[in-house]
Amino acid sequence: MKNLIKKLTEAFGPSGYEKKVRKLIYDEIKNYVDSTKTDKLGNLITHIKGKGIKVMFAAHMDEIGVVTSYIDKNGFIRFSNVGGFFPVHSLTARVIFANGSVGVIGEEQRKTMSDPIEMKKLYIDIGARNKKEAEKLVPIGSFGCYQRKFQDMGQRITSKAFDDRIGCAVLIEAAKRLKQKVKNDTYFVFTTQEEVGLKGARTSAFDVAPDIALAIDVTGTGDTPDAKKMAVELGGGAAIKVKDRGIVCDPRIVDALISTAKKNNIPYQLEVLERGTTDATAIQLTKGGVPAGAISIPTRYVHSASEVLDTDDVDAAVRLIVAFLKKDRSSIID
């Protein structure tokens, strides 16, 4: 899967600008599903025909980014965040804009190095000598994202935008392994604008009207030096979400995922995330309500230009989805 992950993560795609990512996903998955469509908000909805209940899996295509908001007389660009942009991860990072222009994130001089890094004191240096030059290259309202290549470190890999291109890669690989053989009517949905309010999940779920749904996304870990205590680690298997800031996962789905993992000898761990949420939160509240859960891929340094994950966890997530869909899940809502 590494070549697929490389293509997806290196693609440009901040919230609202998912077109290139959507085209890559469509080209990869079109021969492994029965139908595809793109809705008005840009969600790619793919369908594998089955019987009984509708099961929806969602992974978001967008990544965090920036948007230019002001240019000073010397050509330095001020910007606003698009999604959960963390200043601490950004100093001297490179960003690329939709037209290919590249800049470096700098900051105003701090009085002491112990002072906090503040968003309002950051700027982007695109090499312009003045405001006129900068405006030609990157006009106000230009969207950008981190520029960072995928790197294969062996068992583990690093790149920008694992959140959530890795979820997209997992669903594509699951579709390939399933070969259109599922028990229930199955939808793999690749959503837009998750990072700015779970927007694509809300509209696509209204369209699909699933009986049960699961989001595929990343989650943080507690396995780095002096990390906040969290019972998720790289290499520990797919993380079955129990709760996060936005959702209490349906216990029936949690139990079904655990029993599936045990029966198929798939490594798994349980996730309780104190901050952050996924598309499952929006899907759960669609129409009359949807029993929802999530499978997460443990990831270090989330929302940075160099996220890190373990390929065994990716494979475990794929295997869990495939095994889950090979059994009729109607009993979850009986």
- The tens digit of pLDDT for each residue in 231-254 reads 999 999 999 999 999 999 999 999
**137, part of any domain:** yes
Decide: 170 and 321 in contact? Cβ < 8 Å.
yes
Range of the domain at 10: 2-63+160-332
Tell me, what's the pLDDT at 304? 95
Decide: 21 and 13 in contact? Cβ < 8 Å.
yes
Tens of pLDDT, residue by residue over 2-39, are 999 999 999 999 999 999 999 999 999 999 999 999 99
C-beta contacts of 97-103 below 8 A and 24+ residues apart:
97/138, 97/142, 97/143, 97/144, 98/12, 98/17, 98/142, 98/143, 98/144, 99/137, 99/138, 99/142, 101/126, 101/137, 101/138, 101/142, 102/126, 102/147, 103/77, 103/127, 103/138, 103/144
Q: Which residues of the chain register pLDDT less than 50?
A: none
Given 146, 174, 194, the domain boundary residue is 146
**24, part of any domain:** yes
Asked if residue 242 and residue 96 are part of one domain, the reply reads: no
Asked if residue 318 and residue 279 are part of one domain, the reply reads: yes
**Catalytic-labelled residue, pool 18, 63, 173, 194:** 194
What's the rounded Cα separation, in Å, for the pair 81 and 67?
A: 6
**CATH number where 115 lies:** 2.40.30.40
**197, part of any domain:** yes
The residue whose two tokens read 């000073």 is 72
Asked if residue 23 and residue 138 are part of one domain, the reply reads: no
Q: State yes or no: is 194 an active-site residue.
A: yes
Q: How many structural domains is the chain composed of?
A: 2
Given 119, 146, 173, the domain boundary residue is 146
Q: Residue 196: CB partners within 8 Å, gap ≥ 6?
A: 15, 16, 62, 82, 83
**211, part of any domain:** yes
**155, part of any domain:** no
What's the rounded Cα separation, in Å, for the pair 253 and 250?
A: 5
Asked if residue 174 and residue 49 are part of one domain, the reply reads: yes
Number of CB atoms found within 10 A of residue 308's CB? 20
Asked if residue 71 and residue 21 are part of one domain, the reply reads: no
Given 79, 112, 146, the domain boundary residue is 146
**153, part of any domain:** no
Asked if residue 103 and residue 17 are part of one domain, the reply reads: no
Asked if residue 219 and residue 182 are part of one domain, the reply reads: yes
Decide: 161 and 9 in contact? Cβ < 8 Å.
yes
Closest CA to 105 of 68, 62, 149, 160: 68
Asked if residue 208 and residue 102 are part of one domain, the reply reads: no
Asked if residue 139 and residue 34 are part of one domain, the reply reads: no
Tell me, what's the pLDDT at 227? 85
